[in-house]
Amino acid sequence: MKVAIIMGSDSDWPLLEPAVKQLADLGIKNEILVASAHRTPGKVHDFAAGARERGVKVIIAAAGAAAHLAGVVASFTTLPVIGVPINSTSLGGIDALLSVAQMPAGIPVATMAINGAKNAALFAAQVLALENPALAEKLTAHREEMAREVEMKAARLLEKIGK
């Protein structure tokens, strides 16, 4: 199992790092690349076209502004591509969100929220879990842990306010 993560700029790394950590926590290998759909299109092509042969099962593509990276990647592979729009302009990431979400018919890209890299990692894991029962169990355990954390925080709050 391997997920590839491609980002349009090294400045996107702080937003992608939680996705890498989430994948590692679930035992999913990853590869990372910085490449621009506009400035290094050949590199993007080679990355996407060769992903399946490298054992990649899902690709996460993150970019801001025009955010064409996810769509360009999707145009070169039939692997699932998950787009993460990045807030990198004065438009608050809406420009990137629309660029990723409005793919033309025939070249789909799953679209996460603006800066939604952690959810992209979890969505990639869900795709991989279709063929991996052990990973599906890890995802279930992850959700159960999140529920426990909510309950613990709620109990602490109620104790604090005397209810």
Going by the annotation, the residues of the binding site are: 9, 12, 39
Residue 73 and residue 52 in contact, taking contact as beta carbons nearer than 8 Å: no
Q: pLDDT digits over 79-136, tens only?
A: 999 999 999 988 999 999 999 999 889 999 999 999 999 999 999 999 999 999 999 9
- 2-131: CATH architecture: 3-Layer(aba) Sandwich (3.40)
Q: Which residues are annotated as a binding site for substrate?
A: 9, 12, 39
Tens digits of residue pLDDT in 8-32: 999 999 999 999 999 999 999 999 9
Q: What region does 85 belong to: left with phi over 0, alpha with psi -120 to 50, or beta? A: beta
The domain locations on the chain are 2-131, 133-162
Note the helical H segments in the chain. Answer: 13-25, 41-49, 69-75, 94-101, 117-129, 133-160
